[in-house]
Structure 1
Amino acid sequence: MPPPRLTLTTDVSHGPLDGAWWPRCDALELELPCLVGSLEPDPDTTVRVTVEPSEWPDAPRTVMAPGRVIAVEPAGPGSEAHVITLDCGSVGRWVLLIVPPEEPAGTAARLLAAAADPENPLTATRMLALAETGRLGGTAGQAD
């Protein structure tokens, strides 16, 4: 697969998100190995991913990736939709907005940029709602 369409904050995030990921399809078992690989965890690092079951109803419990097995866990009650959490042990933990695969490129680009803004106070659900109405600017500061 090609590299993941991913943006991460360049500094410590002050918002609810650490960036965004725009998968090419909704098959987690196809998309996840490339995403995790781009974060560069050591092959011996335990990687756990948490996803919202309603967003990924057919998500496998484990995903095979080169040199590792990725544990996939359902998010608990009250968790935010449209988010994936990646816990890569000592490498780091990221909470990412999931841009829907079918999102138009222009809208996806605005979502990727806004989610990577370390000053962005918006939740994933709010950013997607603003994008749907055409009110999400290029950065979080331009939203609303």
Structure 2
Amino acid sequence: MTTVLQPPLPSHPVLRLRLAPRGNLPRAIDGAWWPRSYDLLTELPRLLGGLPREWGHITSVTVNGTTWSAVPGRTLVSNQVVRLHRTRTASAPRTIVLLAPGRGRWDLLVVPPDTTEQAAESLMAAAAGGHV
């Protein structure tokens, strides 16, 4: 009998995030995020943990209320309170808005979790390049 060892699964899946280069001009979209599900309480800690340190502590997150699973008004991420807001406006059906007091606001395109890898890569590249 032969035993084949399987490599361990990563405990933290790779964050699928692409950010636009920093610049002085304001942008409509600051990058793209491709979550693995619409469960915000599972996905948000991964996203916030992978953001650049210079963005500071994100204290408020706004998502489309018709897209994401139900969420409470706030949650703890890395022992810090993050306020969660849901909007139903048609102007931002596939975005997530991140706010850090004194640092800024960032709007990310949300690539649907069930998007193929090829389509997701194309969407993320376009968002990071300012073509969305």
Question: What's the TM-score once normalised by structure 2's chain length?
Answer: 0.77
SS of aligned partner of 1:55: coil
| Aligned: 1:8 with 2:27 | no
Q: CA RMSD in A?
A: 2.0
- Number of equivalent positions: 118
Residues 75 and 83 of structure 2 are in contact (CA less than 8 Å); yes or no, is this contact kept in structure 1?
A: yes
Question: What's the TM-score once normalised by structure 1's chain length?
Answer: 0.72
More helix by share: 1
| Aligned: 1:35 with 2:47 | yes
Q: 2:32 aligns with which of 20, 31, 46?
A: 20
SS of aligned partner of 2:18: strand
- The 5 A counterparts of 1:45-124 are 45=57, 47-75=59-87, 77-118=89-130, 120=131, 122=132
In the TM superposition, what whole-angstrom CA distance separates every residue of 1:39-93 from its partner, at most 9, and x where no partner exists?
A: 2355xx4510001111114123222211212111112645310110011223432
Distance in 2 between residues matched to 1:111 and 1:72, nearest whole Å: 25
Greater gyration radius = 2
Percent of residue pairs bearing the same amino acid type: 35
Distance in 2 between residues matched to 1:15 and 1:106, nearest whole Å: 25
More strand by share: 2
